[in-house]
Amino acid sequence: MDPFSQLILTISVTSFLTFQWLFHKVSPWMSMRISPGFFGLSDKQKVEWNSRTVSTFHALLVGIFCLYILFFDDAVNEDPVWGDPTLVKTNVAITTGYLISDLLLIFYYWKAIGDKFFVVHHLAALYAYYYVLGQGTLPYFANFRLLAEFSTPCVNQRWFFEVLGYPKSSRPNMANGVAMAVVFFMVRIAVMPVYYSRMYAVYGTEAFYVVPWGGRVAWICASICLDIMNIMWMHKIARGCYRVLRSARHSKAGTPQENGKTD
């Protein structure tokens, strides 16, 4: 094993251990001090709370790293299939450690956070990341996909507000809902033309056919399936956001009339 591969393995293992530590130690300790409502949660809710806290931390860490690579890693941007994958591999190694950690927690706390969809999602992602970490292929597209993690904090925050009893019409909940819709659209929907234009540009080239058949299937098929789900989710998020905003607008419109009534 070459030194860089050993480094990637070390990063993955360190990532796994770090996220386990964050789940078992840091999140409970921090949550008890930041949110008094944490004490009133059931054991199952506390498990999911800690899982989502770790998920938010991972999303922000990896997302920021993705932006840096997207804007400043010229080697990857110039050659999206075989460009120098050093930074992308590092980022993917962090995510690999997180996914394995989260899979372990899902199986161990199945009654609290067990979800077949997430198991399939994590396993499919790990399969795709094998080609990035093992063969250094498709670094641009792997990094571009990880930008979607920026929508995770808002999704998690919606659950935090819900479990803490915040009304859907409350200002924090509404602000988070709007932010979730906007960010989800930006990092999962608006970027599709850019992503598929780069895919079309390399499709059929010599560099494309050097990619193993399994890697091409994981890349193209997974991208299409994921984006179909993203469009469906975006539709649901937009409808939910519209309903909440319309309800709040009607409530505000009715208040002056009610206040202006005389006996």
Average pLDDT over residues 174-180: 92
Per-residue pLDDT of 190-219, as tens digits, reads 999 999 999 999 998 999 999 999 889 889
CB-hemisphere CA count at 13 Å for 189? Answer: 16
Per-residue pLDDT of 100-157, as tens digits, reads 999 999 999 999 999 998 898 899 889 989 999 988 999 999 999 999 999 999 999 9
pLDDT of residue 39: 93
Place of tokens 């234009």: 197
Confidence of residue 262 (pLDDT cuts 50, 70, 90): very low
Per-residue pLDDT of 241-260, as tens digits, reads 888 788 777 666 555 544 44
C-beta separation of 72 from 37 below 8 A: no
pLDDT of residue 121: 86
Average pLDDT over residues 151-176: 92
Per-residue pLDDT of 4-41, as tens digits, reads 789 999 999 999 999 999 999 999 999 999 999 999 99
Query: What's this model's pTM, rounded to 2 decimal places?
Result: 0.89
Question: Is the pLDDT at 63 greater than 60, yes or no?
Answer: yes
Question: Is the pLDDT at 223 greater than 70, yes or no?
Answer: yes
Domain coordinates of the chain in residue numbers?
3-251
Place of tokens 């499919």: 124
Quick one: CA dihedral 238, 239, 243, 249, positive or negative?
A: positive
pLDDT of residue 120: 87
pLDDT of residue 252: 62
C-beta separation of 246 from 178 below 8 A: no
Distance from C-alpha of 146 to C-alpha of 171, rounded to nearest angstrom: 30
pLDDT of residue 87: 94
